[in-house]
Amino acid sequence: SRYMKVPKRIEDIFLEKPQFAAGAADFRKGGGFEYVGAFIPLQLIPEMIKIGTKISLKHEIVPTMGARLIGQGHAAMFFISYSFNRSDPEDMKNAREALHDTNKAVLEIGGIPWKAELTGQKLILEKMDPNYKKLLKSIKNLLDPNGIMNPGNWEVT
């Protein structure tokens, strides 16, 4: 808040120790959480809130969401996080399925997941324009002809 003026109540939230987000990450105890951050047009935020809530409740996870405006406010990075207990395999499975459902939903409404995990990358690649796939593959082959940089990620076939 040193660089821009924000209302006092917002400043207090950002400066609280620990921040709410840090505590929210451990709703389930066991310390795990994953999230989907999605770049979406601003007008899709209400729809993503509904989608995120529905997915969270379907997987019995406390709905935890937020957004950050991009540029001049024409788009947002909207996130939905899913906390889980690392010592509970079923809880971890629920979070993984919630991530997958969220990645699919984001793509279906016209957004793009940011920093997608492998299964999310595959969903993105399936929807990707074939010409862009060719370009991506060409660039990867040019920069990394031996396939040693980040193997397994963004594998264009």
Domain ranges of the chain: 8-115, 126-157
**Alpha-carbon span 113 to 115, nearest angstrom:** 7
Q: Which CATH class is domain 8-115?
A: alpha beta
Question: Crossing angle of helices 45-58/89-109, nearest 10°?
Answer: 150
What's the pLDDT score for residue 119?
94
pLDDT greater than 60 at residue 24: no
Handedness of CA 87, 90, 62, 21 (dihedral sign): positive
Q: Is the pLDDT of residue 15 over 50?
A: yes
Q: Note the pTM of the prediction, 2 decimals.
A: 0.77
Average pLDDT over residues 96-125: 95
Which range is least confidently modeled, 14-18, 67-71, 79-83?
14-18
Residue with the bigger pLDDT between 4 and 100: it is 100
pLDDT of 101 higher than 70: yes
